[in-house]
Amino acid sequence: MDDCIIIGAGPAGLTAAIYLARFHLSIRLLDCGSSRAALIPLTRNHAGYPDGIKGTDLLADMLAQAEKYGAVREGVTVDAIEPLDEGFAVIADGRRLLARSVLLATGVVNNRPSGLADDVHDAALAKGLLRYCPICDAYEVTDKRVGVIGTGDHGMREALFLLGYTRDLTLIAPDVHDLDPACEAALDEAGVVRVDGPCGGYAIEGDQFVVETAEGLLRFDSVYPALGSVIRSHLAVAAGARASDDGCLEVDDHQRTSVPGLFAAGDVVKGLDQISHAMGEAGVAATTIRNMLAEKVPLRR
């Protein structure tokens, strides 16, 4: 039986693996290879990298650091977490793995604009023409022409946030705008242009991203989809953990879910959706796991 099984090898899962391996605990790091951090062309607000770092490079460096202390990443898909009288069974690719504790670090998946082909999406993302996190990279669109695909309260809030970087801003409805009077008033007061959809016909032309709308083709230096995300918390919820209405796992100050011995860190927990924040939560979770296990059976070398 392992001391801990970590599910997910993004920034949170890898940070936890480094901590737990250095605590001399036996761990498994299970990962299906779909960390959202791998999609980051260049993160410039992660401390310690003045010139920025690619998401894939950051993940590779973190995995190498975890492996230095004995952690091993297994490329598998986890199908279920089963609480036992003592510990957990984790079902992965037909195997039944036992652990004294489990840390879920499965993150979220961004909702993409409907009809956006994978090759266009990936190329636009790599060139900075398509962006998902204004907290991460709105600095890079300062004074540029920016489109936001979204509507409702979520679309309004993203547009208003981006006004801190550029005044050339257009809010495009995926279909038709669904804005209550308060949202409309806030956008009007801020001077945000609104365009109805449906939108599609996405293409890259030179250094601009093209969006087809009800008002014709519009060209932008960058486009932000404000379409929400899917929180990958289903494994923990199925195991009995409490979650918010939108699927974020509820945890205490030590990253403990409502299921004893089951922890969660990173974007799967309601929070800032930032690498640094995920890493901090993982450090707290890993230390709590170490102390919890030591209380049950003293840890000795």
Name the residue ranges covered by the structural domains of the chain: 4-109+229-296, 112-225
* pLDDT tens digits along 128-165: 999 999 999 999 999 999 999 999 999 999 999 999 99
CA gap 278, 265 in Å, rounded: 6
Longest dimension (CA), the chain: 69
- Given a cut of 70, whether residue 287 has pLDDT beyond it is yes
Phi, psi at residue 146, to the nearest 5°? -125, 135
8 A C-beta contact, residue 174 and residue 227 = yes
The β-bridge partners of 102 are: 5, 262
Evaluate if residue 204 carries a pLDDT over 80: yes
Please give the pLDDT value at position 130. 97
- Asked whether the predicted pLDDT for residue 271 surpasses 80, the reply is no
| Three-state secondary-structure class, residue 92 | strand
Mean pLDDT (the chain, rounded): 95
Give the angle 4-106-102 at the CA atoms, nearest 5°.
Answer: 20
CA-CA-CA-CA torsion sign (205, 41, 13, 135): negative
Render pLDDT for 116-129 as a digit per residue (tens, 0 to 9).
999 999 999 999 99
Residue 76 pLDDT greater than 80, yes or no: yes
pLDDT value of residue 18? 98
How is domain 4-109+229-296 classified at the architecture level of CATH?
A: 3-Layer(bba) Sandwich (3.50)
* Ranges assigned E (strand) in the chain: 4-7, 27-31, 73-75, 78-83, 88-92, 95-99, 102-104, 108-110, 146-149, 169-172, 193-195, 200-205, 208-213, 216-220, 222-225, 229-231, 262-264
Residue 238: per-residue pLDDT: 97
The pLDDT of residue 301 is 59
For position 154, what pLDDT does the model report?
94
Q: Would you say residue 219 has pLDDT above 80? A: yes
Share of the chain above pLDDT 90, in %: 95
| pTM for this prediction | 0.93
Is residue 281 packed enough to be buried (19+ CB in 10 Å), middle (13-18) or exposed (0-12)? buried
Query: How do residues 57-72 score in pLDDT, each as one tens digit?
Result: 999 999 999 999 999 9
For residue 32, the model assigns a pLDDT of 94
The 10s digit of each residue's pLDDT in 19-42 is: 999 999 999 999 999 899 999 999
Q: Comparing 4-109+229-296 with 112-225, is the CATH topology the same?
A: yes
The CATH classification of domain 112-225, taken from the options 3.40.50.150, 3.50.50.60, 3.20.20.80, 3.40.920.10: 3.50.50.60
